[in-house]
Amino acid sequence: MKKRLVIALGGNALGKSPFEQLELVKNTASTIVDLVEEGYDVVIGHGNGPQVGMVNLAFEYSANNGSGTPLMPFPECGAMTQGYIGYHLQQAVGRELANRGVKRSVVSVVTQVVVDSKDKAFKNPTKPVGMFYFKEDAERMMKETGYTFIEDAGRGWRRVVPSPIPKKIVELPVVEQLVSKHHIVITVGGGGIPVVEKSAGAYEGVAAVIDKDRASALLALELKADMLVILTAVDRVSINYNKPNQFNLSQMTLSEAKKYIKQGHFAPGSMLPKVESCMSFVENTENGTALITSLERAREALRGETGTRIVKK
């Protein structure tokens, strides 16, 4: 039986515009097909922070400037980004498979993820979306729109929206069927479209963005994956990041990860949710392992040559 990998793609694997993304996903596709050739069944989750912010802002600007375009609700913006990011990934991965003579299908599933309407995140927005702004511009937009902006890991100011904890993946049975047939599946795009369950089988979208790493961890658990792989911009997780005494970790036990979190080594909205998502997966599986590494070195990381592995002990 093939081993299952759930891969969470970071923003560096995609792009800030559709045109940039079309170029970037070529490298992303190469990495994904590398892993397919290594003998894995691959399931892909991805973020959509820049993209959903871009789509939402475009509709909002157009609606408020006399074009007659309607305002687009935030859940629908999330669904749109799932669609076009999945389309780009399907094209790129399909092309790479064909170029290498690998006979495998790739498909995107527009995915809803259930959250709790009483989740405290709705009173405390933390998830960055959209582009980066200078502080002065962010402060002006907060006054004009009522949106919340925060400084994001030294990179600038970004709008933040609620980021509730994912509870259930609505389309999981379909994803399971596709994976069992060895198709490459793109799902929980952007963390999934956040919905609340109003009654059995009836869902309603809510204005939020689920963290894609947390959604991917839930997906990995539900699919009984052998490994959760979070691909980001760095080869390894570090403590004392960007300081003279920075130290890159090849492995972390759960107890070590908890200690480093308590000491404040991982930035909220950046490395912290990645580490916490890996911990959640490892804690709740018997033999599962999690791995954080860069897109470019994923194949080497799976062979133990780089990356940071999170293990029970």
Give the separation between CA 223 and CA 180, rounded to whole angstroms. 10
Active site residue 12: yes
Nearest by Cα to 306 from 233, 248, 240, 220: 248
Active site residue 11: yes
Sign of the dihedral defined by the CA atoms of residues 100, 102, 105, 110, in that order: negative
The residue type at 199: S
Catalytic residue among 189, 190, 274, 307: 274
Is the separation of the CB atoms in 228 and 277 below 8 Å?
yes
Question: What is the edge-to-edge ordering of all strands in the sheet holding 112-114?
Answer: 168-169, 112-114, 193-199, 202-205
Active site residue 258: no
Catalytic residue among 127, 190, 192, 269: 127
Look at strands 112-114 and 193-199 and give their pairing: parallel
Active site residue 224: no
Nearest by Cα to 121 from 154, 156, 145, 148: 148
**Residue 140 has which token pair?**
């002006």
Catalytic residue among 45, 56, 212, 269: 212
- β-strand partners of 232: 294
Nearest by Cα to 34 from 109, 104, 108: 104
Catalytic residue among 12, 26, 167, 205: 12
Nearest by Cα to 214 from 122, 281, 287, 118: 281
3-state helix, strand, coil in the chain (%, to 5): 40, 25, 35
Catalytic residue among 11, 47, 86, 307: 11
Residue 245: burial class (beta carbons within 10 Å; 0-12, 13-18, 19+): exposed
Q: Give 290's DSSP letter.
A: E
- What residues are annotated to the active site? 11-12, 127, 212, 274
